[in-house]
Amino acid sequence: MSRLTGRLVVASHNSGKVREIAAMLGPFGVEPVSAGELGLPEPEETEATFIGNAALKARAAALASGLPALADDSGLEVFGIGGDPGVYSARWAGPGKDFRAAMQLVWEKLSVTGDDRSARFVCALALAQPDGSVEVFEGEARGTIVWPPRGEKGFGYDPIFEPLGLSRTFGEMTHEEKLPLTHRARAFEKLVASLK
């Protein structure tokens, strides 16, 4: 656990994500600081996997700051359309982050390919040290794509994702209800277990 005591760069410019990570790591004596606060550039995500992109972002932040850095990469994989949008989940929403259009595109493609509406959200967390070493932890949440979208809570593809065994989408759940079911929470459980 000593490797994470003190300051930790959260390789993100998203203040909400930084707050969420700070809350999860607070009990370990970690002081998260965002890449945005340190003025670190966001590297281009050029890898073909969630793990590859998370590691790329964490390593860049650790090398630039001289501090341990944590990055995540996450997205939605829909099995009936070959795992798309996958690592391109954010890009499907375009520069304006229009996830209504992205959800519509998922549904249109799914309508053409057939019946398999099974899907999963994936989160890869990468913890990098200034020496360039990286540890990676992956979590997933499995479910089904529903249409039309339901719920105004959450973000991204939440309104079309219904977790296995439940009858509400992530978009219909409060943050407190959704959080323990998420891919990010499951990846964090693995990270936290490695610190004990």
CA distance 184 to 99: 19
CATH of domain 2-195: 3.90.950.10
pLDDT digits (tens, 9 = 90+) for 177-192: 998 899 988 999 999 8
DSSP secondary structure of 88-146? GTTGGGTTTT-HHHHHHHHHHHHHHH-S--EEEEEEEEEEE-TTS-EEEEEEEEEEEE-
Look at the alpha carbons of 66, 87, 96, 21 in this order and tell me if their dihedral is positive or negative. negative
pLDDT at 23: 75
Average pLDDT over residues 91-114: 93
Instruction: Give the N- to C-terminal CA distance of the chain in Å, as an integer.
Output: 6
Distance CA 49, CA 157 (A): 19
Average pLDDT over residues 80-89: 95
Q: Is residue 18 predicted with pLDDT exceeding 50?
A: yes
With pLDDT > 90 as the criterion, what percentage of the chain qualifies?
Answer: 68
* Residues designated catalytic: 73
Angstrom distance (rounded) from CA 71 to CA 50: 11
Q: What is the mean pLDDT of the chain?
A: 91
Strand partners, 121: 76, 141
Q: How confident is the model at residue 21 (pLDDT cuts 50, 70, 90)?
A: confident
pTM exceeds 0.75 for this model: yes
Q: Structural domain boundaries of the chain?
A: 2-195
Confidence band, pLDDT 50/70/90 cuts, at residue 171? very high
Angle between helices 183-195 and 15-25 (to 10 degrees): 40
Give the pLDDT confidence of 103-127 residue by residue, as tens digits. Answer: 999 999 999 987 899 999 999 999 9
Phi/psi of residue 44, each to 5°? -70, 135
